[in-house]
Chain A
Amino acid sequence: MRILLWAEFQKLRRSNIIMFTIFATILIAVIVLVSGITGQLAINSAGWYMTITQVWATMFVLPAVIALLGSYMICREEQDDTLKSLQLIPVNEIKLTVAKMTVALLFSILIYLLLFLITFLTEAALHFSALSMAVFSDFLKMYLLEGIGVFFAVSPIIALVPYLKKSYWLALVLAEVYSFSGLFMSMSNALKTFYPITAIFGVSGYYETTIQSRGCSLGILVLCGCISALLLKNLNHRQKE
């Protein structure tokens, strides 16, 4: 498994998708900052920038980017025609898929950590005196959980695109619609608990909610992971056929 993980990271060298992911992460941070400054929003209150950036990122940008990255990794063996070379080694296809999903999860976490770093440094530049260790750790925990949560929420899309034998760019479109819909789902208490994108906020602690609701949200994200595992298992089976 260690070699498979190493290989997956190697395969992403010079990848435009990685560049696109980093660019999108920086872009959302810049957009929120510019909106905060020009739109007379509460940029002057400490914590506002870190709070709003993660919401905007999760609602509008990062699920689509992570879904794109994950689908690209899953689809590429077939698209680059490397699958038969791997089969002739032979590489265990289930382990290969697990390695790819693990790398996608790690990237999801890394992207949110990058976003956290950008927002924290910006907050520090804007109002250093208002920041404390508690603020740092609370936001770090929130960003980390969102990184994990977003991966699980979009994992069915990551699995669905190769399953449908479509281009990985479809994952970007589907995930964008999926995450944007979260905006409407967040208007109802029941829906925001069960809709995967808004469930992330329940798990990460952005929404103040009950333990039961948090448990339900966590359950939904785990269910998303199970659905994607099922789809990927069927995909492997179909590729063998």
Chain B
Amino acid sequence: MNDTVIKTKRLTKKYGTQTVVNKVGLHVQKGRIYGLLGRNGAGKTTIMKMILGLTPITSGSAEVFGREIGGNAKRIYSRIGAIIETPGFYPNLTGTENLEIFARLRGTAFPNAVKNALEVVGLPYKDKKTFAHYSLGMKQRLGIANAILHDPELLILDEPTNGLDPIGIAEVREFIKALSVEHGKTILISSHILSEISVLADDIGIIDQGVLLEESSMRELEKRNGKYILLQVSDIPKTILILERSFHVKDYSVQDEQTVRIYDTTLNMGEVNKALVMEEITVIRSGICNDTLEDYFKKITGGEGIA
């Protein structure tokens, strides 16, 4: 059984001579939350639009549920709920009236679909307030309600917490997490806020200037960027031998020809240094490091941090 819900291969988008998305290969696994992290203008929305078939692909391909959207739109869209950029609704209608239009056009089979969707996002049913008078947070919630109206298997959410207050952000975060954990939904969420992605996502894709710089599971990334002992030495093979034989170290990673990371921070570094020196290995640097995800983001994007 294929568990990849979204798969893109060398996905590229060009506007004239400008390449806004460059050979991106995303892999979103079933039942997981995939966080697409990048600064504003990095190409997140364009990737989502290409996946959804809302903008033509210059080259490469995007498959959803094992098929390209073109020609299969009706079948695939019924399994997807999406918010792309700001949610658009008819300003002269109430939230309920707006959702009723989309529900009927979609042919939603659930009788209380509108009521349920509004309840989930915490908006009142049959309220008299028109969309024009909604706050940004309410508009965002209505967008999410529209996305879940037909109980889709896959949610594609482009910056869904934009404009929400801190309590609203926490609520939406909880709700997204619950959709994945309790209902097994697959979610592709984009954000420029690192903390949001780090709390929500199971897998992460870091994008900068249209290029996917990193794609890995959050656990793997945290492991790589948590607390560790950094050891810079003159002879890596000999050092590894000593670490394994004398100190029974198994959880480590070699970074380059002089650097090794040891993830067991309880190790007695005095003893390690002594053992290395006795074997005539020069210890250039040794100490405990604690990189944050932001440090990592800065390092791989080669620039400033992210919110």
Which A residues have a C-beta under 8 Å from some C-beta of B?
A: 3-4, 6-7, 10-11, 13-16, 76, 80-91, 241
Contact = CB atoms under 8 A, between A and B. Distances in A.
Contacts of A11: 90, 92-93, 101
A88 B91 contact: no
Given A7-B105, A85-B102, A85-B146, A90 B77 contact: yes
Interface residues of B, number: 28
Given A85-B87, A88-B80, A3 B56 contact: no
A16 B90 CA distance: 13
Contact of A82 (B56, B73, B74, B88): B88
B106 interface: yes
B39 to A, nearest CB: 23
B104 A7 contact: yes
B208 interface: no
Contacts of B77: 88-90
B91 A80 contact: yes
Nearest to A86: B105
A211 B77 CA distance: 53
B101 A88 contact: no
Contacts of B86: 81
B101 A13 contact: no
The listed residue with most B CB atoms (<10 A of its CB), out of A6, A15, A16, A90, is A90
A6 B82 CA distance: 24
Nearest to A87: B54
A11 B97 CA distance: 9
Given A88-B52, A88-B77, 17 more contacts: A7-B104, A10-B93, A10-B101, A11-B90, A11-B92, A11-B93, A14-B93, A14-B130, A81-B86, A82-B89, A83-B88, A84-B85, A85-B88, A85-B89, A88-B82, A89-B105, A241-B56
B104 A3 contact: yes
A90 B92 contact: no
Nearest to A82: B88
B143 to A, nearest CB: 9
Nearest to A96: B105
B91 to A, nearest CB: 6
B57 interface: no
A10 B88 contact: no
A81 B54 contact: no
A93 to B, nearest CB: 12
Contact of B74 (A7, A84, A90): A90
A80 B104 contact: no
B84 interface: yes
A151 to B, nearest CB: 23
Contacts of B54: 84, 87-88
A16 B82 CA distance: 30
A107 B177 CA distance: 47
Contacts of A85: 87-89, 102, 146
Interface in B69-122: 73-74, 77, 80, 82, 84-93, 97, 100-102, 104-107
Q: Nearest 6 CB-CB pairs, A to B?
A: A81-B88, A82-B88, A14-B92, A90-B73, A7-B101, A89-B106
Nearest to A18: B92
A133 B170 CA distance: 70
A84 B104 contact: no
Nearest to B131: A80
A91 to B, nearest CB: 6
A151 B73 CA distance: 34
A7 B100 CA distance: 9
A91 B105 contact: yes
